[in-house]
A and B are shown apart, each in its own frame.
Chain A
Amino acid sequence: MNIYLPVAHTSINLMIMLAIGTGIGMLSGLFGVGGGFLITPVLMMFGIPPTVAAASGANQMVAASTSATLTHWKLGNVDMKMGLYLLIGSFLGGGLGVQAVKILNSMGNIDFVIKLTYVLLPFTVGGIMLGESLKKKKAPGQGGEGSARQSIFFRLMGRLPFQMEFVKSGVTHSALLPVLIGILVGVLAAIMGVGGGFIMVPIMLYILKMPMRVIIGTSVFQILFTVIEVTFLQSYTNHTVDFVLALVMLTGSSVGAYVGTMFSERLNTEQLKVLLALLILSVGFKILFELMSKPALLLAYSFGGK
């Protein structure tokens, strides 16, 4: 059965979209990522204009993140204190990122920067995660050179002002650290048009040293507020949120997020890390392949480019 999307002005197969929504929702619940870095390319594959795909994807992530946040909240996996500091940073970073996008757009390089970010970041983040997980599997409990280097980094972090204890995560950090991380994630999220979960999760894991389950809960909590902001701004300024598309996707993704969260309780932490690393790497490989292969059509519609 097909339905017509009133803002995207295109017709889609209802069942396929429900299935995609469910799959992306499962990733959200399983890994604590909003799925933004998957939604936009997948919707574009089905003929949805890129701007509508990104904006409607954010709208559907509101539902998926709400469902996942509530479930993680009840499981005691959300570190509110850490989440709020990260949020302050990501809101500031989001504003800076929007300005960076404006400057890059006027220079005519935004397209290249976005795609390159989509290749470099997944490879860096996914590679580090996979490498760390495999290292631990090989030699559990061994520290070595890496931990010596890490200790210098963590000693420096320990000297930052406003040190405080994050009870839920069981860590002590300067309040500046999550704010700075939030800014970095906010800037990248604005450039890449995503909630920032796949950047946030590894940072929480390797820099903030939070336990995996609290990371997932806190990440979806932070994503919820980011995607609310994005949905409103896109509706208000660009009129690109297709509510019908979002409704179809969120019906699937809400169910998927619930199932994903339940699964995340049954998988062990190392399995989750390896799976997320492989997922992030596969997105990077796909975009790299697209960038290097000759496209089927050499012309593309211009939407106010150079």
Chain B
Amino acid sequence: MTTRLLKTLLTVLALVLSVSHANAALTFSMDKKLIPINAFYKGNVLTITGTVESGKDVVVKITSPLENEAFMIKEKLYHLFWMNKDKVNVTNVNSVYMLYSSDDLDKMLSAGERNKYSLGYDAIRDSAGVSGGSPESDRDMLFREFIRVKEEGRLYSVNGNKVILMPSKDGKNSFWLTVSMPYQVPIGSYNVDVYAVSNHSVVEKASDEVKIEPVGMVREISDMAMAHGGVYGLLAIVIALITGYMVTPVISIARRIVLTAITAPKRIINAMNGQLVPVPVLKETDEVKE
């Protein structure tokens, strides 16, 4: 009896799981899961593609983990100079926040849903803690300045109508998004969350992760500077000394070569005409006195 009941339960569970899988209409993939920072890195482009049930909109959110950040607010002192004055703490925020949607975010989602999934600057403002500054500092003004600092540093952006939806097959749409990851985005792991939206609500969510990491020489130098500061410093000094020592003779030789090259055709022509022209000699002021 017990065995039969167990078998029935397992069958029902398998059925539920298979139905659930069949309903997992939101899928996505990224063209890279690791963005390598090499010597010539100037940012990279991340391409996200996927499928979603037709009639649904898509929101893509790329974020770093939540943390607390500290700032200084500038105020005019003595009616003369603008200086950093008081500390401002912004808590429970992402250092990096990039949001892309297939339509205007405010039209797609209700305020409650935006707050629930932390979608958009209003949602961040409601969940973040802003404290400090002078007693008369306006919290909303401080938050606006926080967003401006982040946008200026290319770490925050909210972009509507950037996710492109295209009709596909089986009642599904394909979606496609290219994300420019500027070099200002720091080394670390970033969550990539994709939301399917219908009737002003999030109906499905899928997540993955992308990493930004230094590789090769960049990694070697960065690690050495952090782990062996003394040796790194000595090496930096020795190389600078050698460069400084080498540059004078190297430039002198280069000058001689250039001067010789400039006068060579004239000397050849004169030699062919039977005239002797001396090799150019640098003036006393040009050459370093020994």
Contact = CB atoms under 8 A, between A and B. Distances in A.
A301 B148 CA distance: 12
A226 interface: no
Given A232-B234, A266-B285, A299-B72, A254 B146 contact: no
A235 B82 contact: no
Contacts of B13: none
Given A63-B243, A297-B149, A300-B84, 16 more contacts: A6-B214, A7-B221, A9-B186, A74-B288, A76-B289, A116-B81, A243-B225, A250-B240, A255-B251, A257-B244, A298-B145, A299-B142, A301-B70, A302-B84, A302-B87, A302-B88
A60 B145 CA distance: 35
B117 interface: no
Contacts of B82: 291-295
B6 interface: no
* A-B CB proximity, top 3 nearest: A66-B244, A235-B233, A62-B240
Contacts of A293: 82
Nearest to B231: A235
A265 B37 CA distance: 45
A298 B248 contact: no
Interface of B: 37-43, 69-74, 76-77, 80-84, 86-88, 142, 145-146, 148-149, 152, 183-184, 186-187, 214, 217-219, 221-222, 225-226, 229-230, 232-237, 239-241, 243-245, 247-248, 251, 285-286, 288-290
26 contacts: A1-B40, A3-B39, A4-B42, A6-B219, A6-B222, A7-B225, A11-B41, A59-B240, A63-B240, A63-B241, A65-B244, A66-B241, A66-B244, A71-B248, A74-B289, A76-B289, A111-B83, A112-B81, A228-B237, A232-B237, A243-B236, A243-B239, A291-B80, A295-B74, A298-B145, A305-B84
A169 interface: no
A250 B243 contact: yes
A232 to B, nearest CB: 4
B130 to A, nearest CB: 11
A232 B240 CA distance: 12
Contact of A10 (B184, B222, B251): B184
Contacts of A181: none
A11 B152 contact: no
A232 B289 contact: no
A255 B249 CA distance: 11
B153 to A, nearest CB: 9
B244 A250 contact: yes
A234 interface: yes
B229 A235 contact: yes
Interface of A: 1-4, 6-7, 9-11, 47, 59-60, 62-67, 69-71, 74-76, 111-112, 115-116, 228, 231-237, 239, 241-244, 246-247, 250-251, 254-255, 257-258, 262, 265-266, 291-302, 305-306
B74 A67 contact: no
Contact of A2 (B42, B217, B236): B42
Contacts of A231: 233, 236-237, 240
A205 to B, nearest CB: 23
Contacts of A235: 225, 229-230, 232-234, 236
Contacts of B285: 265-266
Contact of B187 (A9, A242, A243): A9
Contacts of B288: 71, 74-75
B233 A301 contact: no
Contact of B240 (A6, A9, A246): A246
Contacts of B152: 296-297
Nearest to B285: A265
B229 A243 contact: no
Chain A CB count within 10 A is highest, among B82, B142, B217, B236, for B236
Nearest to B80: A292
B236 A59 contact: yes
A232 B233 contact: yes
B31 to A, nearest CB: 21
Contacts of B251: 255, 258
Contact of A241 (B145, B236, B247): B236
Chain B CB count within 10 A is highest, among A1, A60, A67, A291, for A67
Given A7-B221, A231-B233, A305-B84, A254 B70 contact: no
B95 to A, nearest CB: 11
Contacts of A299: 71-74, 88, 142, 145-146, 148-149
Contacts of B74: 295, 298-300
A232 B198 CA distance: 60
Contacts of B76: 294
Contact of A258 (B43, B221, B247): B247
B290 A246 contact: no
Contacts of B39: 3-4
B203 to A, nearest CB: 37
Given A71-B248, A299-B146, A305 B240 contact: no
B251 to A, nearest CB: 5
A112 B149 contact: no
B133 to A, nearest CB: 9
A177 B194 CA distance: 71
A305 to B, nearest CB: 6
